[in-house]
Amino acid sequence: MKKHKKVYVYQGFERFWHWNQALLIFLLALTGFEIHSSYTILGFETAVDIHNKAAWGFIILIIFAIFWHFTTGEWKQYIPTTKNLKAQAEFYLLGIFKNAPHPTEKTLISKLNPLQRLVYLGLKILMIPVMVISGLLFMFYRYPHGNEIEIINIDNLEIIALIHTAGAFAVIAFVLVHLYLITTGHTITSNLKAMISGWEDLEETEDENEVADKKENDHETK
């Protein structure tokens, strides 16, 4: 029988980053589609103002998150692997609906399964940078900043608008899938509770007991 132990998996900043990122993405999507004239809730000027402020907040959060990932070594969580990749995809497509066992176990040194690693890596090195860069081009080219708009030699931002909008839909698709996958833990709410409290029940493995105990002790002494 597998033994499980309650482990402090998600550190304070990790949870702060996760929930603030979720809030900012929600604000950016809500105001962004209003700016795009999809609906009217806040009014165009208010939507633009909130969108710009949320964008700067998102950029600042990204900077702190990059610093945290590299100083803690958590960037290693996103290193892609082909091990169990096919089994993980089959689990999400079919196995999960047949109550099949999960092909990979979450651990402190491997919080993400092979498919999550690929998706999250793509989000961080492709999707988010594209959204940030295209958004900054809009901000400094279209919105009134005196003569500063002349420093960007772009005749037409239509292609950038299409890229930014496509990126927005991709991020929303990711969020929807993410919300669904939250319910696929040991219980429907276990993943959500873990990201709120930081603690989660993980299967014990001999090579990770020492790491888990060290992180637990470090947390208790703070």
Percent of the chain with pLDDT over 70: 83
3-state secondary structure of 194: helix
Structural domain for 46, as ranges: 4-220
What residue spans of the chain are helical by DSSP H? 12-35, 44-72, 85-93, 114-122, 128-141, 158-182, 190-197, 206-220
pLDDT tens digits, one per residue of 53-83? 999 999 999 999 999 999 999 999 999 999 9
Number of domains in the chain: 1
pLDDT band at 138 (very low <50, low <70, confident <90, very high): confident
CATH number of the domain that residue 40 is part of: 1.20.950.20
CA dihedral 43, 47, 182, 21 (to 10 degrees): -160
The residue that leads in pLDDT, 100 or 146, is 100
Distance CA 39, CA 33 (A): 7
147-198: pLDDT as tens digits: 444 455 566 678 888 899 999 999 999 999 999 889 888 788 999 999 999 9
Residue 221, pLDDT above cutoff 60:
no
